[in-house]
Structures are given as structure tokens and as C-alpha cells.
Structure 1
């Protein structure tokens, strides 16, 4: 089976006047259905790595493959297509539109695919059922708890059945109880029929522990990978 993600000798250096090497020789493969936590101190390169995995930034060197597709030489338009079809994003902030219902918010995740409205709503319904919000579809974001709003954001990321879901500190704005629920949800997404590859960035050891694999960065390099082979 084609891996969800493959990085080979990936580096990222930001140019002068403040030359910074954010990543150096990062090399790993994530198989479909894996749940991975990327950890490390502030400045270790976590956010840069997530941006490169999500094709929001280009590496200075090396190769990034997403669902088997080499993104190294793609145009910006082609990369937008990769994000629309293969990647789901979840952030610390929920970024929900207050004037739209929960169902409509989730359906926006398919807008850039040119999918008919009826199909968008059907898939959004399925995604909300998957995250346990079947009874909240007609609510507005302001009527939901923080944990429920993050579930909506996860459903929006999942609605297009992406090859990989990338999460940046997904529990950062939640209390302990809601954070625990979100972590459990992310950790068990692979157990559904569709199976979901999850890669998240976190400073929280409890969040990292819920993922089956841990990759630790230090000064832009991988210093530990619990799933490494060979």
C-alpha cells in the first residue's frame, strides 16, 4: 500500500538577513492509518515541518511525497489541488464561520473540489456522524462548547476523506476534559472503516502518549522516532 507521507532528506533554511536552518535531513515514512505525534521544544522545527507536510511551505531540499505523489516540482496551483484532495487541517483555533450552521461549516471543506451542494451536505452529514455530532448539525458555532467546536473542525477536515489529517496543537484552546475527548477521537479515527492517518504537533505529553508513534525533533533534526525501522 502506498504510504500516506514520505519525507526524504528534507531540509528548510530561511534566507538572510536572519539565516535559520529550521529542518535538516528529516527522513521518515508514515503509513496509512498511523497516528503520529511530533514533539519537541519551542524552536525545534515542529511548525515548519507541519507546514511542509501540508504543502503550505516548500522545503529547501529533499523530497515530500503525499499519497505517493511527489510534490517537489509542483506549481502553486497543483499544490492547492493536493491540499484540497489529500490533506485535512485542524488548528488550535477552530476557524468556524459564525453565520453558518454546523453542517454548512463542515460542507465548506469541499468547496474547492467543485462538488455539488447536495453531495457536500451528504458528506458533511457523514463526517459529523463520525465525530459524534449528529444531533448538532443545525446549531451555530456559538451554541456549542469548545470541545464540540473542535469536533466540527475535525469533521470539516475529514469531510473530503483526505489521505492525512494534520493537527496543530488541537487541544491548545480546550480545558482538560474536552482536550481528553478530542485526543481520544483523533486516536481512534483509524479504527473506522475509512481509517484516517493522523499527524499532530503537540507540547503536551499526554496528547503525544495517545498516539501510537512519537517523533521528537531537536534543532531541526529527528532525535527519536518510536516507529523507525532499520
Structure 2
């Protein structure tokens, strides 16, 4: 089994005045191409866990490996490189630039890779085709529906062909039918061997992922595939 993400003994403690233990001794192995839902009540540590998986936060203790590389000793610049080349992010808010075309919004996902403009446009077109928005390439982002805007955000996340896509409540601002479409799109990324880890409060979204990991008070208390990595 090829491992995409591995956390070993990860804890995150925020110092005073917050003085909160957000994560406590987390061990988690995610296989390449796996789809995983992180669930739990508000305050359970879901967002902190996703932030650490995405190298947006550093753990207080423990190690984080991405595709076998230990990120604990990496500089901020090296971590930025990991995010640019190995990770894609999808958020509840779409964070699109309404005055830009759909294709230009997606192409921004390649800016930090230094790709020429022609390559960025070509790859953006391919990503939009993958999420079913070929017919919207020339539209401005502000002209799209909520579901279309989230598809653009997903296209931006995958335009760099990352090994892992991390999603934070990706259906939270969508109606149930559109949310189901976005969920199916994210789950389908596994067909291209992309690993997907998302956090959600929605039981239907969680059930659509192959694996569910439940957090409570910063600890993993249930895992539908506890033997992964064994």
C-alpha cells in the first residue's frame, strides 16, 4: 500500500490565553487514492486536523509525513512548496475572483508553480472539463451559481494534479441536491488516484466517502478502517 498521509503521535496545544488542547496523540494513516471523511461535533478538532494535514499549521508534537516526506523539519518555504505541488484545497467559501473568467480563476492554482501562461490556460481547460464546466470557461465567476462556483473551486484545487485534495465543509453553502453533486465529484477523484480528505457535519457527505474517521475532544474515537496501513 502506498501511503499519502501519515500522522504519528500528533498533538496540537494552543498556549494561553486560549490554553486549549485541540488534538491529542493522533495516529492516522491515509492510503493513496483513499477518500476519507473527518467527522465530529464543533470543537472536536476537525479543522485543526485538516490544517495540520495541509501544513497550514504545525503540530505541537508528533510527526506529519506527506508521501513519505517528514514535514516537521521543513522550513516555511519548503512547506509552501509542498502545498503548491502536492496538495489542493477546497473550502466552504469559494474564494473566487468574480471579475476574472472561470478559466483564469482556475489557472491561478498554477501561479506559484511558475508555469507559462499558455500552460496554465491549457491545464485550466482540462480541469474544467473534468468537473463538467467546459461550457462555462469564458464566463466570469460572478455569473455562476453556487454549485458551479464550487466546481470551479474544485477545478482550481486539482489543476496542479495534486496527490491529495483537502476539503473543508465543501457542501456547507449548497442546497442538498447540489451538495450531492459536489460530493460525488469529490468522491470520484479517487478514480484518478487522488486522495481526498474532507471534514463535514453532513452524514450523507460522510457516507459517500470510503472511510469515516470520527473525532471527539481532539481524539480519534472511531475509524471505519482502523487497520489501514497495517
- Quickly name the TM-score band, shorter chain normalised: over 0.9
Q: Gaps spanning 5+ residues in structure 2: where? A: none
Residue 67 (structure 1) aligned with residue 67 (structure 2): yes
Q: Gaps spanning 5+ residues in structure 1: where? A: none
Measure the CA separation in 2 of the matches of 1:163 and 1:196.
5
Residue 225 (structure 1) aligned with residue 223 (structure 2): yes
Q: How many residues align?
A: 228
Farther off after superposition, 214-223 or 13-22? 13-22
Partner residue in 2 for 1:107 = 107
Displacement after TM superposition at 1:28 (Å): 1.1
Displacement after TM superposition at 1:216 (Å): 0.2
Structure 2 SS opposite 1:170? coil
Displacement after TM superposition at 1:18 (Å): 2.6
Provide, for residues 94-133 of structure 1, a one-character-per-residue CA deviation record: whole Å limited to 9, x for no partner: 0000111000000000000101111111111111111011
Confirm or deny: 8 A CA contact 2:124 2:156 kept in the other structure.
Answer: yes
Confirm or deny: 8 A CA contact 2:99 2:142 kept in the other structure.
Answer: no
Partner residue in 1 for 2:157 = 157
Alignment of 1:179-218 (within 5 A): 179-191=179-191, 194-218=192-216
Displacement after TM superposition at 1:195 (Å): 2.0
Partner residue in 2 for 1:12 = 12
Structure 1 SS opposite 2:16? coil
TM-score (norm 1): 0.97
Structure 2 SS opposite 1:4? strand
Displacement after TM superposition at 1:2 (Å): 3.5
Partner residue in 2 for 1:118 = 118
Q: How large is the Cα RMSD of the aligned pairs? A: 0.9
TM-score (norm 2): 0.97
Confirm or deny: 8 A CA contact 1:2 1:68 kept in the other structure.
Answer: no
Displacement after TM superposition at 1:177 (Å): 1.1
Measure the CA separation in 1 of the matches of 2:145 and 2:2.
38
Partner residue in 1 for 2:22 = 22
Provide, for residues 159-196 of structure 1, a one-character-per-residue CA deviation record: whole Å limited to 9, x for no partner: 001110000000001111111110111111112xx321
Measure the CA separation in 2 of the matches of 1:178 and 1:147.
6
Measure the CA separation in 2 of the matches of 1:49 and 1:116.
34
Which portions of structure 1, spanning 4 or more consecutive aligned residues, are displaced by more than 2 angstroms?
Answer: none
Measure the CA separation in 1 of the matches of 2:17 and 2:136.
50
